[in-house]
Structure 1
Amino acid sequence: MNRSRRLDERARMTVRLTLLCAAARTGRAVRFADDALDERALHRVRAVAGTLPRAATHCTAPSRRCTETARTLGWESVTPQPALRDLDMGSWYGRTLDEVAATDASGLAAWLSDPQAAPHGGESVAQLCDRVAGWLDALPSDVGRVLAVVEQAVARAAVVHALAAPHQAFWRIDVPPLSTVELTGRSGRWNLRMAELPVSPRPSR
């Protein structure tokens, strides 16, 4: 087999994954909940729709904000992926960060410092990272380009896995709403790919 053919086959076996962080309601306190998107958030989704890469496979987390984001992008017949669900916040679900800090300060401090901690009785950060890693590594090598709308926590966990970083790195990753994470990989090995800015042609003199 010649070198060009080997390179071509290798390219076909590379998964190109774009994770789009779901839109979020604006002007509200941070709350551990799955709120419906407001019109301002939906407007922002429509504004970014044309900037996303084309993909053969579309996925979404099962949450309301993720499915609303995907639907506003114009996606049809997208099956929610349970493995991409948000971190289970247990008894903290529906509460704001300030409310939790006021009633369970020690639990919140443990959760923010220990990936194994789950003071709310739900899912730990480590469990989330392991779940997302399993989904990533189970993607078929011939799936091509995949575009998925995910939760912020899921995007963070994906970066942790791609870089083989310790779970403690989870809180060091900032993924704003409607930002993207680009990953490429195959055979369980992933690379983080930074996005390129469009370059305008030089004006002719």
Structure 2
Amino acid sequence: MTVRVMLISPATSAALREARFDDDVPLDEAGARRARAAADAGAAPGADRVLTGPSLRCRETAAELGVAAEPLPELGDWDMGRWRGRRLDEVGVSEPEAVSAWLSDPAAVPHGGESLRALCARVGGWLESLPGEAGRVLAVVEPGVVRAAVVHALALPAEVFWRLDVAPLTLTELSGRVGRWNLRCGRPLGPGSG
């Protein structure tokens, strides 16, 4: 049986605008406004089960989209350990070798959090655990989770993660079943996005 997994990236927050490793900040006003406009346009697809990553940004996006979503820890953002809340440029200046290792080695954890491989394995484990009768699953999740899901679903090398861009308030769809997934990328949510 085919499962359809629809992943919506959350609206913008200050952390996203500042290229900061997220520290669970709320949506900014522009992001909330865009999510409400998407909801007014009926952009959130219907689903049999609606989930969200546990971050405040994901939960607030789901609420602004008008969907009642269940937070799921497995859909949490990439754990950046001690880098959480810091800007990438700041970390790059203070720890250039660590940032270089993080960007080039999928197993590296210079921040003490989760490696890229571990993120892809965690998100992939969730994806593969969906039963065939799951039907349509909608989840509002951080861009890193969307990227990890695509890497896993298409059996791509972990390094491809860095080459995938996920814009705020876009829909990425995976359909298929365990071990065989198809991808539909980045449809924007909002008025006129059809």
**Alignment root-mean-square deviation, CA:** 2.0
- Where structure 1 has 5 or more consecutive residues not aligned to the other structure, the ranges are 1-12, 201-205
| 1:116 counterpart = 2:107 | yes
For residues 122-161 of structure 1, what are the structure 2 equivalents within 5 Å?
122-161=113-152
**Runs of 4+ more than 4 Å apart:** 194-200
Q: Determine if the alignment matches structure 1 residue 55 to structure 2 residue 44.
A: no
1:92 aligns with 2:80: no
* Matches of 2:150 and 2:133, distance apart in 1: 21
Q: Do the aligned partners of residues 196 and 109 (structure 1) sit closer, same or farther apart at CA in structure 2, a change above 3 Å counting? A: closer
Partner residue in 2 for 1:28 = 17
Q: Percent identity?
A: 55
Instruction: Write the letter of the residue equivalent to 2:54.
Output: P
TM-score, structure 2 normalization? 0.90
C-alpha distance in 2 between matches for 1:167 and 1:123: 14
Structure number with greater Rg is 1
CA deviations on 1:144-183 (whole Å, 9 max, x unpaired) are: 1111000110000011011110111110100011111110
User: Normalising by the residue count of structure 1, what TM-score does the alignment of the two structures yield?
Assistant: 0.86
Q: 1:72 to 1:167 in 2, by over 3 A?
A: same
Conserved? CA contact 2:166–2:186, under 8 Å: no
Distance 1:117 1:145 in 2: 35
Unaligned runs of 5+ residues in structure 2 are: none
CA distance in 1, matches of 2:174, 2:184: 6
* Number of equivalences: 187
SS of residue paired to 2:70: coil
Judge conservation of contact 2:171–2:187 (CA < 8 Å) in 1.
Answer: no
